[in-house]
């Protein structure tokens, strides 16, 4: 799917939010699971299919093509006949590791599962906004409306 050029311009015709733009690129179950699997390293098609229990081959092919078009995955050939590829995340694809960790943590908390903890003291970790200029954490209430530069 092509990104909406109005995605960051609120009020523009056909405008969607930055979150909407992200969801347009990676917002379905299988796409996020493919990315999460590839965070552990490159995989061949068959390996992805084995690790993603229940995904149909046509769905996997479609999602991999979409991820390539979005620039999140690169397919490197390893066999010419028949054509076979190994799939690897690009830098923008690897940048999804933090949001995926947050989603996984949210899912664990929601289901009462294990949470990541601080190794030094055992306290469950929490994600927070951080301003690198001020070198301070920023509470959600203090962040106000998000503005994108």
82/36 Cα distance (integer angstroms): 27
DSSP line for 20-72: HHHHHHH-SHHHHHHHHHHTT--EEHHHHHHHSTT--HHHHHHHHHHHHHTTS
The verdict on residue 97 lying in a domain is yes
Preceding omega of 82 cis (within 30 degrees of 0): yes
Q: What is the CATH number of the domain that holds 100?
A: 1.10.10.10
Give yes or no for a contact between 62 and 34, defined as CB atoms under 8 angstroms apart: no
pLDDT of residue 7: 46
Range of the domain at 49: 18-115
pLDDT averaged over every residue in the chain: 85
The verdict on residue 138 lying in a domain is no
| Of 76, 73, 77, 78, residue with least CA distance to 34 | 73
Q: Is 140 exposed, middle or buried (0-12, 13-18, 19+ CB in 10 A)?
A: exposed
pLDDT band at 14; cut points 50, 70, 90:
low
Question: What are the pLDDT digits (tens) for 96-132?
Answer: 998 998 888 888 888 887 888 899 999 988 878 888 9
Share of residues in the chain with pLDDT > 70 (%): 85
pLDDT of residue 146: 63
pLDDT of residue 106: 85
Task: Say how many domains are in the chain.
Answer: 1
pLDDT of residue 117: 86
The verdict on residue 58 lying in a domain is yes
Structure pTM?
Answer: 0.74
Q: Is the pLDDT of residue 1 over 60?
A: no
The verdict on residue 149 lying in a domain is no
pLDDT of residue 2: 46
Q: Is the pLDDT of residue 149 over 80?
A: no
Sequence-ordered list of residues with C-beta below 8 angstroms from that of 102, at least 6 positions apart, any chain: 127
Question: Would you tell me how many other CB atoms lie within 10 Å of the CB of residue 138?
Answer: 13
User: If you average pLDDT over residues 23-46, what whole number do you get?
Assistant: 93
Question: What are the pLDDT digits (tens) for 54-84?
Answer: 999 999 999 999 999 999 999 999 888 888 9
Both tokens of 84, joined, read 């076979």
The verdict on residue 1 lying in a domain is no
The verdict on residue 148 lying in a domain is no
């Amino acid at each position: 799917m092509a990104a909406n050029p109005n995605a960051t311009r609120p009020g523009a015709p056909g405008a969607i939010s930055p979150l909407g733009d992200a969801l347009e690129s990676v917002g379905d179950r299988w796409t996020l699971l493919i990315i999460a699997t590839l965070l552990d390293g490159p995989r061949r098609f068959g390996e992805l299919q084995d690790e993603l229990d229940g995904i149909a081959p046509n769905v996997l092919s479609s999602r991999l093509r979409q991820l390539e078009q979005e620039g999140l995955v690169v397919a490197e050939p390893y066999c010419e006949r028949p054509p076979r590829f190994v799939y690897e995340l690009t830098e923008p694809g690897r940048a999804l590791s933090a949001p995926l960790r947050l989603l996984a943590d949210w899912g664990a908390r929601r289901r009462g599962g294990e949470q990541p903890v601080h190794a030094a003291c055992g306290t469950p970790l929490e994600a927070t906004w951080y301003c690198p200029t001020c070198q301070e954490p920023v509470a959600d209430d203090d962040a106000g409306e998000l503005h994108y530069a």
